[in-house]
Amino acid sequence: MLFFKLSAFYFFYFAAVGVYIIFMPKVLHDIGYNAFDIGIIFALAPLMRFATPFLFLKHIELNQNVFKNALFLSVLTSSMFYITIDNFYAFMINNAILGACLSLILPYLEVTALKNLGKDKYGKSRLYGSIGFMLISLILAKFLSEPKIALHYYLATNVLTVIFALLLLKYDVPSKKKEEQSETFSFFKYWPFWVSLFFMQMSFGGFYNFFTIYETQNGISLEMTSYLWSFGVVCEILMLYYQAPLFKNNLLSILKICVSITIFRWLLLYLYPDSLSMTFFSQSLHAFSFGLYHSAVIMFLYTLYENKKLAQQFMYGVAYGLGGFIGALVAGYVYGEYLFIFSAIFALISLISLFLI
C-alpha cells in the first residue's frame, strides 16, 4: 500500500511539474507576456529552492505541521493562478510562494520513501514521476485549445498530489535526534565541482523555460513539441533503468562525457531548430545530460563529503536552485536565435571546471 501511495504521489507531483514547465511558458506567451517577463516568473521557483533550505537549516524545523501547511498553501496558490495570471506582479508573488511550498514537499517525502522502501524499491516508485510527466505532456497538448485550460490541469494534479502526500504522513516517524552537521563542510575545498554544477544547470535555463516556445516559433506544432518532451523522458527512463553497469567506471570521467554530450545537444538545437529529426535526436541525449549526469553527480558528491545529507541539500540549492534561477533569467534576456549558443557556452564552462578537479 505504501508503494502505491508513493508512486501515485510521484506520478501527480511530476505531472504538475510537466504542466508548469512545458505549458505554462506558452500560456504566458499567448496572453501577452514577453520573453524577459516569462524568464523572471520561472526564475522564482529555483530561487526559492535555493533560499528556503537556509531558513530551515537554522531558524525553522521541517516537521509535519510545517509540511501540512506547505501542502495546503500550495493548493491555495494554485487556485490563485486564475486571479493573478493577468497581473505580472501578483503572478510573480504567487509563484514565489508556490516555489517555497514545493521546495519543502518533495524533499520531505523523499526521506520517507528512502527510509521505508530502500534503494531498490525507491527507484521503481520514483519512476512513476517520469511517467506522469510524460503522460501530461501528451494529453494536455491535445486539449490546450485555450490558455487557461492549463490552469485547470495544474490545480487538479496539485490537489491529487496533496491528497496522496497527506496519506503518506502516517509512514513518517519523526526523529527526535537532530543530525549533527559537519564543521569541515566547505565549498572551497572542491570549488571547481560546485562551479561545474552551477553552470551545467544554468545551461538548462533556455531548455526548461523556452524549449516549447522556441520550437513552436520554428514551425513545429505544440502537439509535436509535447512528443519531443515525452521522447526525452522515455530516454531518461531507459538510462535510469540500465545505467548501473556504467558506474563501474570513473565517476569524474562519466561527468565529463555527459557535459560534453550536453554541449553537443545545445549546438544541435541552435543549428537545426526546425528539423524534427535532429530535434528528436537532440532529445535522445537527455538520457546523458540529465539521467546519467544526475545519478553520477549524486554518487560523486557522496564520495567527497562526510556530511552527505548537507552536501545533497546544497547540491539541489546551488545547481537546481541558484543555477536554475540565473539560467532562467539569462534565457529570458537573451531569448532568440542564439539562445542555445549561450546554453552551449555555459555547459562548456562546466566542462572546463571539471578538468580543474
H or E stretch including 129? helix 88-143
Residue with cell 535555493: 50
Domain chopping of the chain, boundaries: 1-174, 186-357
Residue with cell 528539423: 275
- Give the CA distances from residue 116 to residues 74, 145, 160, 178, in Å, rounded to whole numbers and listed in that order: 25, 42, 22, 19
Instruction: Give the integer Cα–Cα distance in Å for 180 and 110.
Output: 20
Instruction: Give the integer Cα–Cα distance in Å for 143 and 216.
Output: 16
Domain boundaries 186-357, corresponding CATH code:
1.20.1250.20
What residue ranges of the chain have pLDDT lower than 70?
Answer: 56-62, 111, 114, 118-123, 173-185, 307-310, 312-313
CATH topology agreement for domains 1-174 and 186-357: yes
Span 28-68, pLDDT tens digits:
988 888 888 888 888 787 788 788 777 765 666 667 888 89
Q: What pLDDT is stored for residue 179 in this prediction?
A: 46
Span 200-242, pLDDT tens digits:
999 999 998 899 899 999 999 988 998 898 899 899 888 877 8
Sequence-distant (≥ 6) Cβ neighbours of residue 154 within 8 angstroms: 16, 19, 20, 24, 78, 81
H or E stretch including 179? none
Tell the CATH topology of 1-174: Growth Hormone; Chain: A; (1.20.1250)
**Burial group, residue 12, by CB count within 10 angstroms (0-12, 13-18, 19+):** buried
pTM of the model: 0.75
| Position 123, amino acid | G
**In the structure grid, which three cell numbers stand for residue 84, read together?**
493573478
Closest CA to 50 of 290, 319, 307, 327: 319
